[in-house]
Amino acid sequence: MPVIPVVNGVLPRPDGGSLKGIFLDPSAARTLQRLGGENLCLLLPYIHGRERLYPAGVAVKAGKMWTQDVYLLEPQRKVSALFAEVQGMGRYRSSSFRLEKDLLVAEDAESLDLGKLRGEGYPCIEGGGWQALEGQTLRKGYDDLPVSIHGVDYEDGSPLELEANLGGILSPEHAHTVEHGIIRCLNQYGLCTSRTLAAAMAAEASELRHSVDVGYRLRAPEIFGVTSTGSCGNPLAHLAQFHLAREILKGVESGQSLLESVETGRKRALSRIAEDLELTASAGLRVMQGLKKGMWHDDSRLDSPTLVRVLQRFPPSPWQ
Backbone phi, psi, residue 284, to 5° = -65, -45
Residue ranges of the chain assigned to CATH 2.30.130.40 = 3-112
Whole-structure pTM value: 0.89
Give 268-279 pLDDT, tens digit per residue: 999 998 888 888
Query: Cα 118 from chain centroid?
Result: 22
- pLDDT at residue 188 above 80? yes
Helix, strand, coil % (nearest 5) of the chain? 40, 30, 30
Say whether pLDDT at 283 is over 80: no
Residues 6+ apart with CB under 8 A from 42: 1, 2, 3, 4, 57, 58, 59, 60, 92, 94, 106, 109
Burial environment of residue 287 by CB neighbours within 10 A (0 to 12, 13 to 18, 19 or more): buried
Cβ–Cβ < 8 Å for 57, 119: no
> Tens digit of pLDDT for each residue in 4-42?
999 888 999 999 999 988 888 888 888 888 887 778 999
Most confident option among 70-84, 117-131, 221-235 = 117-131
Name the band, by pLDDT with cuts 50, 70 and 90, for residue 51: confident
Q: What value does the mean pLDDT take over residues 202-220? A: 90
Assess whether pLDDT exceeds 90 at residue 266. yes
Query: Cα–chain-centroid distance for residue 296?
Result: 19
Mean pLDDT of the chain: 90
pLDDT band at 282 (very low <50, low <70, confident <90, very high): confident
Burial (CB count <10 Å: 0-12, 13-18, 19+), residue 12: buried
pLDDT for position 56: 95
Spatial contact of 103 and 31, defined as CB atoms under 8 Å apart: yes
Pairing, β 52-53 against β 41-47:
antiparallel
Pick the CATH number of 3-112 from 2.30.130.40, 2.60.40.180, 3.30.342.10, 2.60.40.10: 2.30.130.40
What is the per-residue pLDDT for 294? 81
Classify strands 52-53 and 230-231 as parallel, antiparallel or unpaired.
unpaired
- Reported as a single tens digit per residue, the pLDDT across 231-256 is 887 888 899 999 999 999 999 999 99
